[in-house]
Structure 1
Amino acid sequence: MSSSDSIHQIIDQLKGGIVVSVQADGGEPLNNPDTLTAMACSALDGGAVGIRMAQVENIRRFKAACPSIPVIGIIKPIKIPENAKELVYITPTWQDVAALCNAKCEIVAIDATSRPRPGSQKLAVIVAEARKNYPDVCLMADISTTQEAEGAEALGFDFISTTLSGYTIETSETAPEGPDFDLLKTLTSTLSTPIILEGRIWHPTEVCKAFELGAHAVVIGSAVTRPHHITRRFVEAAYH
């Protein structure tokens, strides 16, 4: 199978499906490879078509259990920094991309915002190196604005995701409390790259709306795999 065929196969595998983001931060009780793998396998039992997962150790453990399932891999800090809105922290460097490719991720997600990268690495150079060294691996651009998405398409990313809408200085005060459907609608109507909706999705009706607006796939995280966030929503409803 050629590199082009391999990438198109992965794109087709995600089309119209739900990807579940299985992650835990820092000292959270669920933050170990075996537990995260078990959660991911449970999500697959529910019909997920792929898994988004952070850190090489966790990804290797999951791929050992489910080698045929597409993984969107990222590397990020164990503890998200307080000034995260100012920083590129999702797969920021070429070295991170290479590590995820070597862990057999089918898709590597990269922060493609306009913020400066560590070590002054350039996004275009990272993409070029990935294409040269790992031509079978799909690249996903995590963006926050239309302009960033347009830049990502120009660089040849295979997917563009709304992951960072609301999580950058530029968008933190303008993004909606829920999914950024306006951004999704703009991207699906103006770009040819498959668009993924990710971020603040809590209800099945939001998934239906995403597909009505042309989303290629939807990534759901906290609503499925973060028990403390789920519990907090019920607790806040009970006491307010």
Structure 2
Amino acid sequence: MPNAILVDKILLHKLAFSIEKNFKEVSLSNRAQILEQLRHGLIASCQPVRGGPLDRPPLVAALAQATLAGGAVGLRIEGLADLEATRAATSVPIVGLVKREVPGSPVYITPELSDVRALAERGADIIAFDATLRPRPVGVGTMIEAIHALGCLAMADISTLEEGLEAHRLGADFVGSTMSGYTEYSPQSSGPDLELVQELSKRGARVIAEGRIATPEQARAALEVGAFAVTVGTALTRIELLTQGFVNALRGVAK
């Protein structure tokens, strides 16, 4: 088997060699502007139930605009078509990602360099990727370098303190608590992992709290323990699941 670090460097070199002139290293001024826009704000994750009635790019863009009308300062959008449609509708910072399976790895959030490039081409300001310490097609450091080379900021989705600190050390602009509870070795909880948010924040990481944040009170609590910003998805935009919660509660009442 070839050395993993060498393979990563070869992949990164090939990507850099193919970048067109309209891409450039993210400028300090652009980075500062994005940070200021997102600081202590709400990022709305607009990811419809796949195959559901809202799973169409124009509707995702409309849903995103509705959350912005309510005060969201940024968006998290999954899928190239949805990203392209949403980018055309707004200029606010967008966290872009793709979800797809790759052979031999459990990593499915923006797993490869080709995904990074495709997201940058369609207007993502920030590119989120799975930065868990599981078998992966491309190293975390290489992903961050590639994202920066394409003029975007890097958001590392992690599940543990160790993973978050490593991503921060490697230069991730944001560390997201996104994967906590979604790896077999991370704490399993019905609520947000505020302890992880707090510990990463105390150690200097710029943390975006994400995952199982279901109420305004939980979102506020994330900021109070040090989160830079908060992402909320299901509680805002997955209408089928929200409705199902009410229906299930009503079914529990005796007639």
Task: Tell me whether 1:129 sits opposite 2:146 in the alignment.
Answer: yes
Task: Tell me whether 1:169 sits opposite 2:184 in the alignment.
Answer: yes
* Aligned partner of residue 71 in structure 2, secondary structure: coil
Alignment match, 1:148: 163
User: How far off is 1:130 after superposition?
Assistant: 2.6
Q: If you compute each CA radius of gyration, which structure gives the higher value, 1 or 2?
A: 2
- State the AA in 2 paired with 1:30: L
Per-residue CA distance 1:94-139 (angstroms, 9 max, x = gap): 110111111111100011001112xx322222222232x32x3110
**How many residues get paired?**
226
User: How far off is 1:24 after superposition?
Assistant: 2.0
Match for 1:88 among 88, 100, 107?
A: 107
Task: Tell me whether 1:199 sits opposite 2:211 in the alignment.
Answer: yes
* Aligned partner of residue 170 in structure 1, secondary structure: coil
- State the AA in 1 paired with 2:143: I
Indicate conservation of the 8 Å contact 2:125/2:153, yes or no.
Answer: yes
Query: For the aligned residues, what is the CA RMSD?
Result: 1.7
Match for 1:139 among 154, 159, 167?
A: 154
Alignment match, 1:24: 48
Task: Tell me whether 1:70 sits opposite 2:93 in the alignment.
Answer: yes
* Aligned partner of residue 92 in structure 2, secondary structure: coil
Matches of 1:208 and 1:25, distance apart in 2: 26
Per-residue CA distance 1:121-171 (angstroms, 9 max, x = gap): 22222222232x32x311000000000001101110000010000011112
User: How far off is 1:38 after superposition?
Assistant: 0.6
* Aligned partner of residue 73 in structure 1, secondary structure: strand
Match for 1:158 among 165, 173, 195?
A: 173
What is the TM-score with the length of structure 2 in the denominator?
0.84
User: How far off is 1:2 after superposition?
Assistant: 7.0
Per-residue CA distance 1:29-55 (angstroms, 9 max, x = gap): 111101101100000000000110011
Alignment match, 1:53: 77
Indicate conservation of the 8 Å contact 2:147/2:153, yes or no.
Answer: no
Per-residue CA distance 1:46-84 (angstroms, 9 max, x = gap): 000011001111111111111x2110000113xx89xxx
Match for 1:181 among 180, 191, 194?
A: 194
- State the AA in 1 paired with 2:83: I
Alignment match, 2:37: 13
Matches of 1:110 and 1:137, distance apart in 2: 12
